[in-house]
Structure 1
Amino acid sequence: MADGFDGLSDKALSIFTFAAYHRLLSGETVSSVIRKDGAGHEADPEGVSELEGRGLVTASETGIALGAEAQDFVETLVLALRREAGR
């Protein structure tokens, strides 16, 4: 995995965890997640800023687009979860 992922904060990792959740539910590659849903749920602003600063995502007011490396990282998370679950 590229150095762009070294030392990510828990706030940044929470965004990838949310993407992994959607990946597991849908079975499809996740290229974006909701940043603000209008119902009080919101990605951590510091986590979003950190990922933007590393060039891993592009964020708008309501969404977070995952770059290619970020999408690959989500796949790595899903594989690690499955491996830990013995699948």
Structure 2
Amino acid sequence: MEAIMADHGTAQAQNNPQTPPPLSDKALAVFAFAAYHQLESGEPVTGVVRRDGAGHKADEAAIEELREAGLATIEETRVEFTDQGEAVLAALVGALRTVGGPS
């Protein structure tokens, strides 16, 4: 499993959910990783580290799929979620909270 670090994001994306395009499990895993960090920290996430320099990296096919879907931009060492990508992440976190019940 690839380890990638998450960054915190904006309230705008949390309040602007949109229907995401169909995504592969690997692309969804990028969002699942970001959701983990968002739930753990309690802060919104705007992106993840593409390569951490310690051998951990995001799946290249997955992040390219997110880019093609308009959900992320790819930089040398980072994957930044677009507003739509942040909205998808916010919807995923919301769905997890619904399944898990109140904290």
More helix by share: 1
Q: Where does the alignment leave 5 or more consecutive residues of structure 2 unmatched?
A: 1-17
Q: Say which of 20, 43, 60 aligns to 1:28.
A: 43
Q: Where does the alignment leave 5 or more consecutive residues of structure 1 unmatched?
A: none
Question: For 1:58 and 1:37, how far apart are their aligned partners in 2?
Answer: 17
Structure of greater relative contact order (alpha carbons < 8 Å, 6+ residues apart): 2
SS in 2 for 1:43: coil
- CA contact 2:72–2:80 (8 Å) conserved in 1: yes
Q: Percent identity?
A: 46
Report the residue type matching 2:25 in the other structure. D
The 5 Å alignment of 1:37-48 reads 37-48=52-63
> How many aligned residue pairs are there?
85
CA RMSD of aligned residues (A): 1.1
The equivalent residue for 2:78 is 63
Question: For 1:58 and 1:44, how far apart are their aligned partners in 2?
Answer: 14
Question: 1:24 deviation in Å?
Answer: 0.7
